[in-house]
Amino acid sequence: MVPIPRPVGEQLLLRVEGCGVCGSDIPRIFELGTSRQRYPLIIGHEFGGTIVEVGEGADQSLVGKRGAVFPCIPCGTCDSCLSANYAMCEDYDYLGSRSDGGFAEYCLVPSAWHFVESKNPSLPGEALGMTEPCTVAQHAIREGGVTAGMTVLVMGAGPIGIMSARWAQLFGASVVLSEIVEEKCEFARAHGCDVVNSSQIDLIERVHELTNGKGVDVVIEGTGAGAALGQAIECVRTFGTIVMMGNPANDTTIKLMQHSQVLRKELKLQGTWNSHYADAPINEWRYTVRMLDEGKMKVTDLITHRSSLDDLPALCEGINDRSILICKAMYVPEEK
């Protein structure tokens, strides 16, 4: 138990309505610890809720407003911050990995700058908790330059893969997903995606069939596996783009022929990291919340597991030892 924090200065006190369990939280809990070894620490960085109190230096009219929280606290002085590329900050703090985050009833938010307001009072709190991963997916689609009329392959049918596919569709592209775990294929299919089980079907052949032998315009590689990157190179068209989104767990090796194809097809290998929060050219977070508010982006159907604070440790253990297969797991506080 910790006391409810009190906001001072520009701080906001948020009553958390939903906080997602991120893939990165599981190693953070069971192996790595927090990045600055700050303990005790409340983790959880994918959250939103209602502002219930503000410090004396904050806009009092914020009380009662609902929204998502941008968890990154950039230093504000490094070159990346000065060019508004906050995800690349060299010395950032972070709610939920370096400072207290969203797996709690209340969370202190440093200032209104971090608050992305929802204008739809009927948007569920758990949708606010999906804003962060949904925006990461949107950023990958933008980094790939996906636009109307394009063909896109998304590799990996986890929550970010499915949301990437949904953004690509929203942006006017035709999308196919690939996945090697049959249960995940079935889940994605049941949630409106066109999915190839690439452990059963030759993905490269299938993609060439779907694109008249040309290959897709853009691949979103969401697995981080070397074999998948190799397949991505074979699936993408000449002058195409591969967005590298999945975090690698091992050294990446690709075949000689695939390496040659990167050159011969003049491919673009584009990294993607987090999301863009500055207002120019577009604040991707505000765009996500707007699309959620308007019902154009769907996210809550991907939440397969909901947990109270008390049951959260058991849920995380189950995810860690793989006895529980999730799409998205979320802490949702019990109604009081």
Q: Which residues bind Zn ion (CB under 5 A)?
A: 22, 74-75, 78, 81, 89
Q: Do 188 and 177 form a contact (C-beta atoms < 8 A)?
A: yes
Query: Please, are residues 277 and 87 in contact by the beta-carbon 8 Å criterion?
Result: yes
Question: 161 or 240: whose CB is closer to Zn ion?
Answer: 161
Euclidean distance between CA atoms 207 and 197, whole angstroms: 12
Cβ proximity to Zn ion: between 14 and 210 the closer is 14
Q: For the beta carbon of residue 244, count every other beta carbon within 10 angstroms.
A: 21
Contact 209, 231 (CB under 8 A): no
Least Å distance, CB 111 to Zn ion, is 16
Give me the least distance between CB of 64 and Zn ion, in Å please: 27
Round to whole Å and give the CA distance between 215 and 147.
16
C-beta nearest to Zn ion: residue: 22
Q: How far is the CB of 75 from Zn ion (least distance, A)?
A: 3
Assess contact for 272 and 221: CB atoms under 8 A.
no
CB of 51 to Zn ion, least distance (A): 22
Min dist CB 212 to Zn ion, Å, is: 37
CB of 97 to Zn ion, least distance (A): 9
For Zn ion, the closer of residues 21 and 332 by Cβ is 21
CA distance 259 to 237: 14
Query: By C-alpha distance, which of 32, 8, 51, 158 is closest to 97?
Result: 32
Cβ of residue 317: shortest distance to Zn ion, in angstroms?
A: 19
Nearest CB to Zn ion, comparing residues 78 and 181: 78
Given strand 216-221, what is the order of strands in its sheet?
A: 195-197, 174-179, 151-155, 216-221, 236-244, 268-271
* 195 vs 297, beta carbon nearer Zn ion: 297
Q: For the residues of 223-291, what is the DSSP string, one character each?
A: S--HHHHHHHHHHEEEEEEEEE-SPPSS-----HHHHHHHHHTT-EEEE--S---SSSS--HHHHHHHH
Instruction: Tell me how far, at minimum, the Cβ of 238 lies from Zn ion, in Å.
Output: 34
Identity of the residue, 32 or 190, whose beta carbon is nearer to Zn ion in the bound complex: 32
Closest CA to 169 of 190, 192, 197: 192
Which of 83, 308 has the CB closer to Zn ion?
A: 83
35 or 199, CB closer to Zn ion?
A: 35
